[in-house]
Each structure stands twice: as structure tokens, then as C-alpha cells.
Amino acid sequence: MVVLGAAGCGAPAARQDAAAAAGAAFEAAVASRDHARACDLLAPQTRQQLEQDEHKACPNALASQELPTTRGVQKAEAYGRQAIVRMGGDTLFLSLFTAGWKVVAAGCTPRSDQPYDCTIKGA
């Protein structure tokens, strides 16, 4: 269950900034190969789905993914408890939990007239 938390309350700009910061932290953890930290930034269902799909604990499962290299946040949009963070090279989808913004999908690329195709996503 997603619950509005203090880390994402307030004006739309504050929510967007918080979502962008969470997305940037996830991408930085992946880039530095700190997969344990990156796993902490995944939404619970996304982490569970990744572990189930790869039959490995999250850090090892995440290390085996081919996530794109990013070049900083280009744009963040927050809609209530959901956000999309467009990075140079990747798009992330996030949800707001009591512990703050968590990544629900990563490695996402747009497809014409279809939903994004994401490398990592929850059920």
C-alpha cells in the first residue's frame, strides 16, 4: 500500500524535487555498483519481482541487469503519489511510500503508442 509521507508532501515543485532526488540517488547507486543501496531505493513489489525473476537476492539480481548509463535528471513530474523522472539515458517511475519516493520501474524506454518498456518493474 502506498501512503503519503513527509518526504513528498507539499507543493508540486517540492514533490517533483523529492522524486528527482530519489531517482538520481538510485541511478548514482547503480553507476557506483552499490547494488545494496540501489535495492533499498526500489519499491517493495519491484524488489520482490526482481528477486523472483532472477532467483537471486536483490543486489546480485540488480547487478545482472543491463541498466542504461545516465546523464543527470532532465525532467521530473509528480502526480499525487506517482512520479516520472526522465534522466539523460533512462526513465524511472516512482511511487511515494511512508519512507519516501521509491523506484517502481527503471530502465524504461518509450514505445510508439504503447506503454514504456522497462527492464526492472514490479508486478
58: left (phi over 0), alpha (psi -120 to 50) or beta: alpha
What does CATH list as the number for 6-121?
A: 3.10.450
78 bridge partner residues? 83
What's the mean pLDDT in 110-122?
92
- Say if residue 7's pLDDT is above 90: no
Mean of the per-residue pLDDT values of the chain: 89
pLDDT single digits (tens) 60-113: 999 999 898 888 899 999 999 999 999 988 999 999 999 999 999 999 999 999
Give residue 122's pLDDT. Answer: 86
pLDDT for residue 4: 39
| 91's grid cell | 526513465
pTM given for the model: 0.87
Q: Do the beta carbons of residue 93 and residue 108 sit within 8 Å? A: yes
